[in-house]
Amino acid sequence: EDQVTQSPEALRLQEGESSSLNCSYTVSGLRGLFWYRQDPGKGPEFLFTLYSAGEEKEKERLKATLTKKESFLHITAPKPEDSATYLCAVTGAQKLVFGQGTRLTINP
Amino acid sequence: GAGVSQSPRYKVAKRGQDVALRCDPISGHVSLFWYQQALGQGPEFLTYFQNEAQLDKSGLPSDRFFAERPEGSVSTLKIQRTQQEDSAVYLCASSPGNTGELFFGEGSRLTVL
């Protein structure tokens, strides 16, 4: 059974303080690993897809990396508007299996 | 519309009532998914359609849950005889193919009293 575990559950940073979120996964035949952002009261919003170990994707202050067992979402010099829940998901077939998310708070 | 539309946004039901939640996906999107999200948790898969065919319903928690997409566009998730444990946000997502890049609606928040 496909499984995704994210850590930490919650993270509070000061504005400008860089950090990383972790996503560990087990899946039979990885077809893709996905990062989504979810704001309160909203549906998840797609950020990145990673397909193979060693791959990296960047968007503004965010960079996602992938190994054979885990993915990291690096946040560089975050701003308060980066506050959200970040969800990791994997797919081995058609459906996405999500982790429980990391709730990130950036204090000004 | 520009995005996935879900209605109602909020629904309060008494235990034992039936509810129907509607999802209007992005026009032309072949794939449609329903997810259930409890407070503080990640979305949990319920069911998946490709056009009008329901290809995977393995996540439906009981036979009280039923989903349909009769014309390959709008989908309805129906919950019969609601229970308190059904309280959650029900998210609908659509995708143009099998990329895994899903476009989510804002969800329908169901509260069962």
How many CB atoms are closer than 10 A to CB B84? 9
A-chain CB neighbours of B102 within 8 Å are: 44, 46, 96
Mean pLDDT of the region A3-28: 96
Interface test with B, best of A90, A94, A100, A104 (most B CBs within 10 A): A94
* pLDDT for the residue A30: 85
How many CB atoms are closer than 10 A to CB B16? 10
A-chain CB neighbours of B40 within 8 Å are: 100
Asked if B99 has any chain A CB less than 8 Å from its own CB, the reply is yes
B-chain CB neighbours of A96 within 8 Å are: 33, 43, 45, 100, 102
Tokens read off for A96: 């996405």
d(CA B103, CA B4): 7
Label residue B94 by pLDDT band (50, 70, 90).
Answer: very high
What secondary structure, in 3-state letters, does chain A show? CCEEEEECCEEEEECCCCEEEEEEEECCCCCEEEEEEECCCCCCEEEEEECCCCCEEEECCEEEEECCCEEEEEECCCCHHHCEEEEEEEECCCCCEECCCEEEEEEC
Does the distance separating the beta carbons of A43 and B100 come in below 8 Å?
A: no
* pLDDT for the residue B1: 54
Mean pLDDT of the region A2-19: 96
pLDDT at A92 over 80: no
How many CB atoms are closer than 10 A to CB A70? 18
Q: Is B54:B47 a contact under the CB 8 Å cutoff?
A: yes
pLDDT digit string (tens) for B26-44? 999 999 999 999 999 999 9
**What proportion of chain B, given as a percentage, has pLDDT over 70?**
98
Does the distance separating the beta carbons of B93 and A4 come in below 8 Å?
A: no
Half-sphere exposure of B111 (CA within 13 A, CB side): 6
pLDDT digit string (tens) for B35-92? 999 999 999 999 999 999 999 999 999 999 999 999 999 999 999 999 999 999 999 9
Q: Is B91:B37 a contact under the CB 8 Å cutoff?
A: yes
Residue indicated by tokens 């308190």: B84
Strands (E), chain B: 5-7, 10-13, 19-24, 31-37, 44-50, 53-56, 65-68, 75-79, 88-95, 103-104, 108-112
How much is the mean pLDDT over chain B? 95
